[in-house]
Amino acid sequence: MFWYLEHRGALSSRQRIVLQHIKWYTGMQIMMGVYLFEFPGKYSRLTMLDLRSDIKELKGIGPKRAAAFHRIGVHTVYDLLACYPKRYENGAVQGNIASLKPNEDAMLVGTIEGMEERRIRAKLSLLTLYVADESGKIAVSCFNQPFLKRRLRIGKRVCIAGKTSYAYGGRGQLVIKQPRGCFLLEDASASKEIESFSKIQPVYFLTEALTQTIFRAAVKEALTEVSLTDILSDGIRQRNGLLRRQEAFRAIHFPKDDTEQRLARKTLAFEELYLIQCGLFYMKKKNTQLRSGISFYRKGDMVESYRKTLPFALTGDQERTWLDIEKDMSGDRPMRRLVQGDVGSGKTVLAAMALLKAVENSYQGALMAPTEILARQHYEGLVKAFQPFRVRVAFLSGQLTQNQKKAVLVSLADHSVDIVIGTHALLQDGVNYAKLGLVITDEQHRFGVQQRAALESKADLLPDVLVMTATPIPRTMMLTIYGDLDISTIREMPPGRTPIRTFLRRFDRRTLIYKYVKDCILQGGQAYVVCPLVEANEARDLSSAEEVYDELRSGVFYGLPCGLLHGKMGKQEKAAVMEDFHAGKIKLLVATTVIEVGVNVPNASIMVIEHAECFGLSQLHQLRGRVGRGSRHSDCIMIAAAKSEQAITRLELMTQIQDGFQLAEEDMRLRGPGAFFSDRQHGLPDLKIADVFLDMGLLLKAREEAQKEIGKGESKKHILPLLAMMYQKQFSHILDT
Ligand code: ADP
Ligand code: MG
């Protein structure tokens, strides 16, 4: 017989035993690699498994079960092992009857003293067993299990496993209802069953066609067949008190006790965060060290003259951030910097300075914004600001006509334009730059890592990248999403801003509120009204922008110019409304959250938010940031229709906290990282086990270890394949090279 043995990776103990047997039978010397063993007889294939193996190769998984596993996204052994239990069934403690407590996972051995069967309803039968041991007696109720009666006999020794509870109508007696296990001690399988009941058992998310038993058996099989190579070095494990990988996987699925389970979780969460951080550091290293960037060494006078045109002095945080940016830009390593600062903290000024610095060095700059409105606003502002310097600025968005677009593309390609401002259109194929040196993306969290990479790929030398975000992101999340970037934070607001007074009011005060708004408009102000929906929706009892708009302009605000703005309107229509609001032609703007990002109308000093309970704290804070941009004192009035105390408590935080970073932390604490971002384009990797919020401490340690590891430089061949297997989506662009 031929044995064809294929093997990758280290051997499990079982595999070692198999090999010993083969060695013993054949007398052959066994080495690592791929072997052919000669036996008399037929060919037989013995494949050793690793994490990439198809689950069909596991014993007990045929095509049908494999198909069921595929349905829950499990194709490889790794996929299976990474299906962490959603919870555990406690192991039952064997004890005597007298010592049982209510609500306890119990296991007891006793003699059946009586059996009684009753039919309660047509389809419900009850078999009651009376079981006794030397310490006492207990009743065991089994519903709809007629087969039990056939298996059990009075006088036999029986083992029962199940949860104890008080007997209905009894005087504190205990019963076991619907036991998990009930079998005679003389049964052949008894000892095995007792063992399994006394252990903690994992419970998985399943589809039909799979049972917990099948799932557990498959995981067990995988754990014995596969030997896992450690990702974390001995040093890292020791420093952080972590398990070996094999142990961790075993213990997350079949923990001996809670402590072991917690340790396994910690290990796997650490491993996950560590890998992602390694990926991010690797990405950073690849971006900044492996390809050279541009050194904007020349110091022209544009930046300085521009500063002189500003009617204010930069704040301390702005100055510090500018120093960071300037240092990055003049160095020859490509800048990879994130500037985070609350709405109105003055990031745009810094973006303008960076763009001028690129132009001073005869490079082109691109500024990308997530929405048309915002891009236009930047465009208009910067055209005005750059006029004295004869900098040529172009605008590019999907809305331009073919001819307009063509003209812009030509001017970018022949360098007759220095700066282009636009939307996603800047990323498209066919947009070529003569000499792209700086890419700025505003409100970055809406662009994923991939999009960042797409823009960067448009230049020969790696352009400098500046990312600006006004969404304060909790630090852990920041490191997970932007771990490849250097970070500057602007916390200090420009002076002279009066804080936005924020009120929370119940629905029944609406009329009064709008009267107040009207008064302010009559005194020359402008106001926003934000609604959660665009149009009326019968399924949800919320105000829609359209309804509120109709209501207000024909009611309280009759005779005053009102506008409506929402995402379902055409782009030109939207732009026209925004323009009119900007110019003060519209006094009251009813809108959905399209106004959320970056819109700047200094004269607008009041914001009313209808159904504030529909929004997250971060989002409310963003909305609130639309007002308070001028010298007028500003109000944000949240109208809550929610009755739940929890919702009200959450909204009250808005009235107490002005700092966006603090609100972001609260938001994530209250609603979890998933709800934190309103759209899915947040670029946050799908974490399988770690939790960006709860595992903050772990993340920081993992990041530190990852930094050391990547610094050593030999990690590439060992980390990259793992990233490819586990986080393909997030890191695809660094993996294919
Ligand atoms: P952000 O983009 O961070 O939301 P902006 O850059 O749009 O904020 O700035 C908001 C407003 O504050 C603008 O009108 C800007 O001119 C003004 N501003 C910026 N920096 C300062 C400063 N240091 N002192 C006073 N006003 C400032
Ligand atoms: Mg801005």
CA neighbours closer than 13 Å in the CB half-sphere of residue 130: 9
Confidence of residue 287 (pLDDT cuts 50, 70, 90): low
Kindly give the number of the ligand 1 atom that is closest to the alpha carbon of 314. 23
The pLDDT tens digits for 332-355 are: 888 889 898 887 789 999 999 999
Render 331-364 in DSSP notation, one character per residue: SSSPPEEEEEE-TTS-HHHHHHHHHHHHHHTT-E
| Token pair 């060290």 in the structure block, residue | 289
Sorted by sequence, the CB contacts under 8 Å of residue 118 that are 6+ apart come out as: 125, 126, 127, 128
CA distance 686 to 454: 21
Closest residue CA from atom 25 of ligand 1: 494
Render 177-211 in DSSP notation, one character per residue: ES-SEEEETTSTTHHHHHHHHTS-EEE----TT--
Query: Does the pLDDT at position 43 exceed 50?
Result: no
Contact 336, 275 (CB under 8 A): no
Closest ligand to residue 630's CA: 1
The pLDDT tens digits for 606-652 are: 999 999 988 888 888 888 888 887 777 899 999 998 677 888 888 99
CATH class of the domain at 302-330+346-469: alpha beta
Query: Does the pLDDT at position 737 exceed 80?
Result: no
Pocket perturbation via mutation, ligand 1, pick of 349, 601, 603, 605 by most ligand atoms within 8 A of CB: 349
Could you tell me the distance, in angstroms and rounded to a whole number, from the CA of residue 243 to the centre of ligand 1? 50
The pLDDT tens digits for 225-273 are: 888 888 899 999 999 999 999 999 999 999 988 899 999 999 999 998 8
Q: What is the mean pLDDT of residues 53-67?
A: 89
- Highest mean pLDDT range out of 39-48, 208-217, 442-451? 208-217
- Highest mean pLDDT range out of 14-28, 94-108, 707-721? 94-108
What letter represents residue 111's amino acid? T
Could you tell me the distance, in angstroms and rounded to a whole number, from the CA of residue 310 to the centre of ligand 1? 10
CA distance 250 to 645: 43
Contact 493, 315 (CB under 8 A): yes
Higher-pLDDT residue of 533 and 607 is: 607
Query: Does the pLDDT at position 184 exceed 60?
Result: yes
pLDDT of 291 reads 64
| Token pair 């059990």 in the structure block, residue | 152
pTM: 0.62
Kindly give the number of the ligand 1 atom that is closest to the alpha carbon of 318. 23
Higher-pLDDT residue of 255 and 24 is: 255
Lowest-confidence region among 10-24, 110-124, 413-427, 451-465: 10-24
pLDDT of 638 reads 95
CA distance 341 to 349: 12
pLDDT of 470 reads 78
pLDDT of 372 reads 81
Closest residue CA from atom 9 of ligand 1: 346
Pairing of strands 526-530, 604-609: parallel
CATH fold for domain 501-657: Rossmann fold (3.40.50)
For ligand 2, an ion, list residues with CB under 5 A: 347-348, 598
Sorted by sequence, the CB contacts under 8 Å of residue 670 that are 6+ apart come out as: 617, 650
Render 382-406 in DSSP notation, one character per residue: HHHHHGGGT--EEEE-TTS-HHHHH
Closest ligand to residue 345's CA: 1
Contact 190, 183 (CB under 8 A): yes
Topology alike, domains 91-199 and 302-330+346-469: no
Query: Does the pLDDT at position 492 exceed 80?
Result: yes
Q: What is the mean pLDDT of residues 396-408?
A: 92
**What HEC string does 130-174 produce?**
EEECCCCEEEEEEECCHHHHHHCCCCCEEEEEEEEEECCCCCCCE
What letter represents residue 458's amino acid? K
Could you tell me the distance, in angstroms and rounded to a whole number, from the CA of residue 470 to the centre of ligand 2? 7
Kindly give the number of the ligand 1 atom that is closest to the alpha carbon of 313. 23
For 280, the token pair is: 């991010």
Confidence of residue 51 (pLDDT cuts 50, 70, 90): confident
The pLDDT tens digits for 676-717 are: 554 434 455 567 787 766 777 888 899 889 888 887 766 667
Q: What percent of the chain has pLDDT over 70?
A: 83
Contact 639, 609 (CB under 8 A): yes
Of 552, 501, 515, the residue nearest 530 (C-alpha): 552
Sorted by sequence, the CB contacts under 8 Å of residue 38 that are 6+ apart come out as: 1, 2, 26
CATH fold for domain 91-199: OB fold (Dihydrolipoamide Acetyltransferase, E2P) (2.40.50)
Query: Does the pLDDT at position 550 exceed 90?
Result: yes
Domain residue ranges of the chain, discontinuous segments joined by +: 50-89+204-217, 91-199, 302-330+346-469, 501-657
What letter represents residue 659's amino acid? D
Q: What is the mean pLDDT of residues 303-313?
A: 94
The pLDDT tens digits for 142-165 are: 988 878 888 888 999 999 988 888
Query: Does the pLDDT at position 32 exceed 50?
Result: no
Of 262, 455, 246, the residue nearest 369 (C-alpha): 455
CA distance 321 to 487: 9
CA distance 107 to 95: 6
Closest residue CA from atom 22 of ligand 1: 494
CA distance 27 to 603: 90
Q: 344 CB under 6 A from ligand 1?
A: yes
Query: Does the pLDDT at position 478 exceed 80?
Result: no
Q: What is the mean pLDDT of residues 579-605?
A: 83
Kind plus residue range of the DSSP H or E element containing 367 = strand 364-368
- How big is the chain by its Cα radius of gyration, in Å? 33
Kind plus residue range of the DSSP H or E element containing 277 = helix 258-285
Backbone angles phi, psi at 555, to 5 degrees: -115, -115
Could you tell me the distance, in angstroms and rounded to a whole number, from the CA of residue 346 to the centre of ligand 2? 7
CA distance 435 to 437: 6
In 565-659, alpha helices (H): 571-582, 617-624, 645-656
What's the residue count for the chain? 737
| Token pair 């934190």 in the structure block, residue | 676
Closest residue CA from atom 15 of ligand 1: 346
Closest ligand to residue 319's CA: 1
Could you tell me the distance, in angstroms and rounded to a whole number, from the CA of residue 345 to the centre of ligand 1? 6
For 631, the token pair is: 């010298």
Return mean pLDDT, the chain: 82
Of 436, 440, 433, the residue nearest 461 (C-alpha): 436
Q: 277 CB under 6 A from ligand 1?
A: no
